[in-house]
Amino acid sequence: MKTNRRSTLALVSLGVLSLNVASCVPREHVVQSWQLASPRINEGWNGNNGQIQWHPQTGDQPLSNIGTQCYFCGQGTDSDGDGIFDNRDECPGTPKGVNVYWQAEHLGRVETPIGRPGCPIDSDLDGVPDYQDSCPDSARDIKVDPMGCPVDSDRDRIPDDRDKCPKTRHGAEVDPTGCPLDSDADGINNDTDKCPNTPIGAQVNRLGCWVLEHLQFAFGSANIEPTSLPTLKRAVDVLADNPKLKVEIQGHTDNIGTAAVNDALSLQRAKAVMEFLIAQGITADRLTAKGYGFAQPIAPDNDPVSRAINRRVELKPQP
């Protein structure tokens, strides 16, 4: 026999909590647009406040504050136990215990589009459901990895959407914008700078070390060629601008000749530079000279170009 729906509602309003079909309990529900096309609406009826009654979905919904509403209870199948009956569940295999969408404006986020009933909630709308999302609060419309975290192509811990240098070499120390740090501002990034404490204005080589470029000596001697004066005067200016700076003047040679000869020649050339600096007003207590011969090459030392690179004088800041 068909149940009279209006009679049923009247009985519930009088406090009768049992029906021929099932018990009813007060629940809160506001009909959403997706429900208007749902076959479940045909299973409910119009209540005394104009809302359409429907089957309960979860047992922990708050009690209604807009008037008592009743539902048919205990009917239908919910295979995955997510509180959404199978005939409305668009994700019927959801793992147990996963929060799923059950109404359009879930958790009051009006910007959230209509979720598919019974499908896992994706709070940040990045395509990775919350229960699999390691970064559930990702900014909108950014690319994320399979774990739901913003993509960081160069693995510098700055997401691509904020990274101004997205192709930084792996392992490089970066600033908040994702660009490599150059602490001494010499043009050589920290991760490749072998001499990280060079003073501002110092002319450095590709390794970040303060080398007196274009410093020339007469062949096999420590006599400084006149063409070297601009390079030496620039070094004087840097030392004058940093009056507390102390440096070790390091002489280096190529591998032509014996170690003893080159050790002596490198020391003589370092001393020649020190004497020039002192003559220009740099106090002797700030300077030391040392010869390394060919013990510290920075090039292969197997051709004229490499040997020329190895024949050098460096100024190394001291503590």
Q: What count of residues does the chain have?
A: 319
Report helix, strand or coil for 272: helix
* Structural domains of the chain, with CATH: 190-318 (3.30.1330.60)
**Can you give the pLDDT at residue 76?**
61
pLDDT grade, residue 83 (50/70/90)? confident
How many other C-beta atoms lie within 10 A of the C-beta of residue 62?
Answer: 7
* d(C-alpha 162, C-alpha 110), whole Å: 27
* d(C-alpha 41, C-alpha 136), whole Å: 33
Which residues are within 8 A (CB) of 290 and not within 5 positions of it... i.e. 6 or more apart? 248, 249, 250, 251, 267, 270
**Can you give the pLDDT at residue 272?**
98
Q: Write the pLDDT tens digit of every residue in 198-238.
A: 999 999 999 999 999 999 999 889 999 999 999 999 999 99
Residue among 253, 261, 268 nearest 299 (CA): 253
Residue among 12, 54, 60 nearest 31 (CA): 54
**Can you give the pLDDT at residue 49?**
39
Cβ atoms of 270 and 296 within 8 Å: the answer is no
What is the percent of the chain with per-residue pLDDT over 90, rounded to a whole number? 53
Rounded average pLDDT over 274-291: 98
Report the 3 state secondary structure along 21-59: CCCCCCCCCCCCHHHHCCHHHHHCCECCCCCECCCCCCC
Phi, psi dihedral angles at 288 (to 5 degrees):
-135, 155
Rounded average pLDDT over 240-245: 96
Q: Write the pLDDT tens digit of every residue in 175-204.
A: 999 999 999 999 999 999 999 999 999 999
C-alpha count within 13 angstroms, C-beta hemisphere, residue 131:
11
pLDDT value at 293 more than 60: yes
The mean of the pLDDT values for the chain is 78
